[in-house]
Structure 1
Amino acid sequence: MGTRTMIIISDASLIHEALIQRGSQFASRPAENPTRTIFSCNKFTVNAAKYGPIWRSLRRNMVQNMLSPTRLKQFGSVRKSAMDKLIVKIKSESEQHGGLIYVLKNARFAAFTILLEMCFGIEMEEESIVKMDEIMKNVLITVDPRIDDYLPILAPFFIKERRKALQVRREQIDYVVGIIEKRNKTTTFFSYLDTLLDLKIEGRETTPSNEELVTLCSEFLNGGTDTTGTAIEWGIAEMIANPEIQCRIYDEIRSIVGDRRIEEGDVERMVYLQAFVKELLRKHPPTYFSLTHAVMETTTLGGYDIPVGVNVEVFIPGINEDPKIWVNPKKFDPDRFMLGKEDADITGISGVKMIPFGVGRRICPGLAMATVHVYLMLARMVQEFEWFAYPPGSEIDFAGKTEFTVVMKNPLRAMVKPRV
């Protein structure tokens, strides 16, 4: 690809060998394009950092202080509040538009609201949430790869785009630093920001700068917003296309909670809902490729040479749709995960069959948080509403397109009917 070499792996056994058995060798990241380097503060993030002391310090801090099971439970009230607001928003939108709503927009907003409170420890007004979301979207659009990332000789023709990137970065820093300063002046609950202010990084004498704080907070927000929103959109689409699945999920909810509102602990007993989400992540992974890997030293894999610094890409659908691994892989079938028919460890430790969150040492640290959000959001949305296609009787278009995640090519507009 231009001046870059890309090595694409789509075989489950090779992925397991590279990222699990020889995980330390394939755990680094290649050089970023110049625009991404601006927004990552020269790779000062959990996802972008090279395999080494900075990455270890940042990941350890995020996992131990924010994403451990104990800490996630402490944010249960934040999730409950966001779910209540989501249901109110859906009801309001459906009443205004004759039962019609945009699924992705509402799901993204709910996920983003949760992550904002976890990140900054303050409850923000809707206007501020919308402004922050707009800034984060601009960042994601700006760091999208351009042709000059692959052919640097063309860089002089993209000076205007580079100026625009610097402007977006300035706007991001100014706004987020304002949120940080405002948060520091008020009494709030524990947040990700608290863990960063005095963070000691291996090999560095200084704590993170304001620019680095902005980068780390932005990574926390962006990493769990679009992935969750996208999963909800595909999930509702599959329920509409398969009404019997929607009925089974609702029946399971009724059998476990009756008429009361679902609580977070309830979803742990919803076996069919969990099977549905697992099949959802197999059939509709958040991205086609996991984040790019690079080797620490020249090595081989599958008889091929892997040079230092090249882009090692893992093609996720290559294993998710492999007929040697799955029975009838094209079919959406949650029952494949019921009663031990088929199974898959999504962490990949016991074997690679599906890796929606990556695998190995660079597996997404937010895996547990993301699945909790998806379980809870889908359960509440099905408990409160029955979902139908729009226009009535039409078929769902399952074509996808790549943005930050793989979204539906035609954003899902669905009809909802409040349940009695």
Structure 2
Amino acid sequence: MLDISNYVFFFFTLVTILLSCLVYILTRHSHNPKCANLPPGPKGWPVVGNLLQFARSGKQFFEYVDEMRNIYGPIFTLKMGIRTMIIISDANLAHQALIERGAQFATRPAETPTRKIFSSSDITVHSAMYGPVWRSLRRNMVQNMLCSNRLKEFGSIRKSAIDKLVEKIKSEAKENDGLVWVLRNARFAAFCILLDMCFGVKMEEESIEKMDQMMTEILTAVDPRIHDYLPILTPFYFKERKNSLELRRKLVQFVVGFIEKRRLAIRNLGSDKTASSFAYLDTLFDLRVDGRETSPSDEDLVTLCSEFLNAGTDTTGTAIEWGIAELISNPKIQSRLYDEIKSTVGDDRTVEEKDLNKMVFLQAFVKELLRRHPPTYFTLTHGVTEPTNLAGYDIPVGANVEFYLPGISEDPKIWSKPEKFDPDRFITGGEDADLTGVAGVKMMPFGIGRRICPGLGMAVVHVELMLSRMVQEFEWSSYPPESQVDFTGKLVFAVVMKNPLRARVKARV
């Protein structure tokens, strides 16, 4: 969300203090507080707002938000340079905004200058403004790629990737006295699944690793920087902008090669046995987006493919890491999950997708995993299409509306003992949660409403299938032996374990 080191602030403070009076005078009329009754929040400095207070706190952004909500309540305002951030951490307010008044809260604020570099135009699903372009792109993705019937067609791709994951874990464990890195292996398997779904062409492992590296570099590059909040500092970041432009150029050049390979494969599907019969790219080549006269350009295709890959790789990988961590910390839960798997599929075959719906405890485990360890602490930023009101406060156009997920999924008014990892709350405890939020908001790991993650169903299948196979094949324990798992998290692209999980595995007989 926001990662700014203290030393950076000492640099720009000298600049901003000298200019603050001038800028404040020039902007005070356009930012007259009498024009808006914003939610409460800490009083900030002119121009920089609360940026310095955040930096001096020494906290990660989500920790700072958690501290502020304890002071100002479930809806409050942070002024971060030119940005007004309205933070919401209440289930009822989230339902009011995103379900009851979904159209009003369905847009996105303007993209940061750095992020725009990696989006050649407005042709993007996750950050497009609410309107006909976004509707066309989302409809295409959901109907042609993420509906249940289409997802079933990719079953063989998932099986192949997870078989390779199991073999990779076995190989790594053999070479390292039973020790494996959980996140690295899990996210690579997720990436390979999405890569095949997206391009539908055979890639060498070297190309897969290069693509993965590029996607990771992009996520790092688009993470907000201080000049995204204080544009006056943009000239000091010319080198960073130059590097981002070069990274985008290399990405386009690399990915277009596989786009062309897919075009050729479509023409030769009958003879090219290495190509998949269907891929996401196939739906994009001749797509007519509402409001545009031409189909997406190659640069547009690179953008759409990049977001498809990035959206489901790290979120799935981190879910697996947190899931294995909980299984290690709760051996009885691990044994119970293994027993359910064994009773469902027997001893003579591996878990298949058709088995998932029969495994009640597995489903409860994954739901509790998403409650206790959501993929990120915030939904993607929302914005309003017109000035509106929520909880008696004004929500202006252009404000960043942020939904803080732990404030909901760990709310003691909603959940019994929310700090406890307890899958049985969904089986015998009488607690439940609709992940879509339509029936009421208790947790929203994929967002809710019109901008809910379109890959929700796919993500749950990936997590359930990967975890069930990993538990079926291996017994997981801590390293060093008898040590306690450190559940401290940090927000990178997703919420990862601050200390990456290295676990000991033992192949089951």
TM-score normalised by the chain length of structure 2: 0.82
The answer on 1:358 being equivalent to 2:437 is no
The answer on 1:278 being equivalent to 2:358 is no
**Aligned equivalents of 2:387, 2:263: Cα separation in 1:** 47
How far has the Cα of 1:340 moved from its partner?
A: 5.7
8 Å CA contact retained: 1:357, 1:367: yes
Q: Name the counterpart of 2:345.
A: 257
Residue identity opposite 2:251 in structure 1: Q
**Aligned equivalents of 1:134, 1:300: Cα separation in 2:** 43
How far has the Cα of 1:268 moved from its partner?
A: 1.0
State which drifts further: 180-189 or 212-221: 180-189
8 Å CA contact retained: 2:383, 2:398: yes
**Aligned equivalents of 2:239, 2:281: Cα separation in 1:** 34
The answer on 1:343 being equivalent to 2:426 is no
Q: Secondary structure at the match of 2:292?
A: coil
- Which one of the candidate residues 347, 353, 374 is aligned to 2:463? 374
Deviation string, structure 1 residues 218-243 (Cα, Å, up to 9, x no partner): 11000000000000000000000000
8 Å CA contact retained: 1:37, 1:43: no
State which drifts further: 234-243 or 332-341: 332-341
The answer on 1:209 being equivalent to 2:297 is yes
Deviation string, structure 1 residues 256-306 (Cα, Å, up to 9, x no partner): 111121111101110000000000000000000000000011010001000
The answer on 1:110 being equivalent to 2:168 is no
Q: Note the residue ranges of structure 2 that are not aligned, 5 or more in a row.
A: 1-79, 270-274
Q: Secondary structure at the match of 2:484?
A: coil
Residue identity opposite 2:422 in structure 1: D
The answer on 1:133 being equivalent to 2:212 is yes
Deviation string, structure 1 residues 181-213 (Cα, Å, up to 9, x no partner): 122223332100000000001011100000000
The answer on 1:240 being equivalent to 2:328 is yes
**Aligned equivalents of 2:173, 2:195: Cα separation in 1:** 26
The answer on 1:181 being equivalent to 2:260 is yes
Residue identity opposite 1:359 in structure 2: I
Deviation string, structure 1 residues 18-59 (Cα, Å, up to 9, x no partner): 000000000000011101111122332111000000000000
**Aligned equivalents of 2:385, 2:263: Cα separation in 1:** 40
Q: Name the counterpart of 1:152.
A: 231
8 Å CA contact retained: 1:173, 1:211: yes
Q: Name the counterpart of 1:6.
A: 85
Deviation string, structure 1 residues 354-377 (Cα, Å, up to 9, x no partner): 000000000000000000000000
**Aligned equivalents of 1:304, 1:331: Cα separation in 2:** 34
State which drifts further: 228-237 or 254-263: 254-263
Q: Secondary structure at the match of 1:5?
A: strand
8 Å CA contact retained: 2:489, 2:497: yes
**Aligned equivalents of 1:83, 1:190: Cα separation in 2:** 20
**Aligned equivalents of 2:158, 2:104: Cα separation in 1:** 38
Residue identity opposite 1:362 in structure 2: R
Q: Name the counterpart of 1:172.
A: 251
Q: Name the counterpart of 1:266.
A: 355
Deviation string, structure 1 residues 66-104 (Cα, Å, up to 9, x no partner): 000000000000001011100000000000001000000
How far has the Cα of 1:341 moved from its partner?
A: 1.3
- Which one of the candidate residues 316, 332, 335 is aligned to 2:421? 332
How far has the Cα of 1:179 moved from its partner?
A: 1.1
**Aligned equivalents of 1:221, 1:15: Cα separation in 2:** 28
Q: Secondary structure at the match of 1:123?
A: coil
Q: Name the counterpart of 1:124.
A: 203
- Higher-Rg member (1/2): 2
Residue identity opposite 2:363 in structure 1: Q
**Aligned equivalents of 1:415, 1:168: Cα separation in 2:** 37
TM-score normalised by the chain length of structure 1: 0.99
How far has the Cα of 1:124 moved from its partner?
A: 1.7
How far has the Cα of 1:145 moved from its partner?
A: 0.7
The answer on 1:61 being equivalent to 2:150 is no
**Aligned equivalents of 1:177, 1:105: Cα separation in 2:** 26
The answer on 1:17 being equivalent to 2:96 is yes
8 Å CA contact retained: 2:383, 2:400: yes
**Aligned equivalents of 1:153, 1:26: Cα separation in 2:** 29
**Aligned equivalents of 1:133, 1:39: Cα separation in 2:** 16
Q: Name the counterpart of 1:389.
A: 478
State which drifts further: 331-340 or 237-246: 331-340
**Aligned equivalents of 1:243, 1:40: Cα separation in 2:** 45
Q: Secondary structure at the match of 1:376?
A: helix
Higher relative contact order (CA 8 A, sep 6+): 1
8 Å CA contact retained: 2:370, 2:445: yes
Residue identity opposite 1:70 in structure 2: N
Residue identity opposite 1:350 in structure 2: A
The answer on 1:190 being equivalent to 2:278 is yes
How far has the Cα of 1:412 moved from its partner?
A: 0.3
- Which one of the candidate residues 378, 382, 404 is aligned to 1:315? 404
**Aligned equivalents of 1:182, 1:58: Cα separation in 2:** 23
8 Å CA contact retained: 1:40, 1:48: no
The answer on 1:404 being equivalent to 2:493 is yes
How far has the Cα of 1:13 moved from its partner?
A: 0.4
Residue identity opposite 1:244 in structure 2: K
Q: Secondary structure at the match of 2:83?
A: coil
Corresponding pairs, count: 420
Residue identity opposite 1:81 in structure 2: S
**Aligned equivalents of 2:223, 2:383: Cα separation in 1:** 20
Q: Name the counterpart of 1:298.
A: 387
Q: Secondary structure at the match of 2:506?
A: strand
8 Å CA contact retained: 1:283, 1:320: yes
Q: Name the counterpart of 2:502.
A: 413
Q: Name the counterpart of 1:101.
A: 180
Q: Secondary structure at the match of 2:165?
A: helix
Residue identity opposite 2:110 in structure 1: A
Residue identity opposite 1:300 in structure 2: N
Identity of aligned residues (%): 70
Q: Secondary structure at the match of 2:249?
A: helix
**Aligned equivalents of 1:116, 1:31: Cα separation in 2:** 29
8 Å CA contact retained: 2:121, 2:300: no
**Aligned equivalents of 2:477, 2:122: Cα separation in 1:** 44
CA-based RMSD = 0.7
Q: Name the counterpart of 1:49.
A: 128
